[in-house]
A and B are shown apart, each in its own frame.
Chain A
Amino acid sequence: DAGVTQSPTHLIKTRGQQVTLRCSPKSGHDTVSWYQQALGQGPQFIFQYYEEEERQRGNFPDRFSGHQFPNYSSELNVNALLLGDSALYLCASSLGMLIYEQYFGPGTRLTVT
């Protein structure tokens, strides 16, 4: 049973560039959430996708956008990268009505120089 997978593992970008991160949810899950984790901090909720629509959003600017595909996989896009966007980006999946457990992937480490 495949768990949550994310790609790439690591990424280095320059300020002003754009980046796309990818996530495949755990088998059978239909809901994907994205989190940003800065060094030494807990994960911060970015947004959540269900039925290919953004359902809820945390306190992040419009530079952060996403998409969910019919196979439930998801992308996180960040435009006009800032140095402060350097972080571990985590994807979590769950089964729509079962909100108690979110399964997290290993994350993508983004470094902005």
Chain B
Amino acid sequence: DAKTTQPTSMDCAEGRAANLPCNHSTISGNEYVYWYRQIHSQGPQYIIHGLKNNETNEMASLIITEDRKSSTLILPHATLRDTAVYYCIVRGDSGGGADGLTFGKGTHLIIQP
């Protein structure tokens, strides 16, 4: 699996858009970008994933650059409950059966009131 690089921490004002960057310059053609987050004292929570097209769901948007070497997770209107560690994970789709995810240290996003 390709490795990812994320900032250690970021601040964002409540109500503003939070933009979390991730570099994955060694990503290969069949590898997806996944984002999970972990709120303090809870297990990680799936947010979104994508291959090469931009994706949006009820939680967030994922913007992947054309060369796929980096991506940005966007929380459009951050709230205090979005304070968490956000993990960017790159992993190939191996088909049948679920494989383990490789988590790095992630970005600690702090939403300021």
Please list the residues of chain A having a beta carbon within 8 angstroms of any beta carbon in chain B. 4, 31, 33, 35, 40-48, 50, 55-56, 58, 90, 92, 94, 96-107
Contact = CB atoms under 8 A, between A and B. Distances in A.
Contact of B43 (A41, A58, A90, A98): A90
Interface majority SS (helix, strand, loop, mixed), chain A: strand
B101 A45 contact: yes
Contacts, number: 74
A104 B44 contact: yes
Given A33-B98, A55-B97, A100 B49 contact: yes
Given A50-B97, A99-B97, A104-B44, 14 more contacts: A31-B97, A48-B100, A50-B98, A55-B97, A56-B97, A56-B100, A90-B43, A90-B44, A92-B43, A96-B98, A98-B98, A100-B32, A100-B46, A106-B43
